[in-house]
């Protein structure tokens, strides 16, 4: 993991992330969890480069609660669709794009697309 904690200057600096299972701070993570983590960091870096983010608003905590509720609703709807076979019957190339790493898609498919 990089020790430089300063955010990169958009479009100028990248903070290298050491994505190796042996050096992760979460020693119980498997390789796939680490791949997803690193892919999410790459996405945040891309957002910084594209400047598609805003400063944290004053009502952040309320918005975070709303976001958590929306995530809960999405998870419920996803699991309902997974249980009735809707996700498995969709174009799997499109479904696969919903995952940060191929291994996460493979794990989800192996679990009948149920989220925990």
Cα–Cα dist 107/101, whole Å: 10
Tell which wins on pLDDT, 26 or 1: 26
Higher pLDDT, 3 or 90: 90
Left if phi > 0, otherwise alpha if psi is -120 to 50, otherwise beta: which for 113? left
* Amino acid 3: pLDDT: 43
Helix axes 102-110, 31-50, angle to 10 degrees: 130
Q: What is the pLDDT of residues 12-30, one digit of tens each?
A: 555 555 565 555 556 777 8
Q: For the segment 24-78, what is each residue's pLDDT rounded down to a tens digit?
A: 556 777 888 888 888 888 888 888 888 766 788 899 999 999 999 999 999 999 9
Residue 4 confidence (pLDDT): 41
Q: Check: pTM over 0.75? Answer yes or no.
A: no
CA distance 69 to 78: 14
Does the pLDDT of residue 2 top 90, yes or no? no
- Measured CA to CA, the distance from residue 89 to residue 49 in angstroms comes to 36
């Amino acid at each position: 993991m990089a020790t430089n904690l300063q955010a990169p200057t958009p479009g100028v600096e990248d903070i290298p992330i050491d994505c190796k299972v042996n050096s992760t701070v979460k020693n119980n993570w498997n390789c796939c969890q680490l791949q997803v983590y690193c892919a999410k960091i790459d996405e945040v870096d891309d957002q910084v480069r594209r400047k598609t983010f805003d400063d944290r608003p004053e009502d952040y905590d309320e918005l975070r609660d709303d976001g958590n509720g929306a995530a809960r609703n999405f998870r419920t709807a996803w699991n309902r669709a997974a249980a009735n076979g809707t996700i498995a019957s969709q174009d799997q190339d499109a479904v696969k794009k919903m995952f940060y790493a191929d291994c996460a898609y493979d794990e989800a498919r192996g679990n009948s697309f149920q989220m925990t």
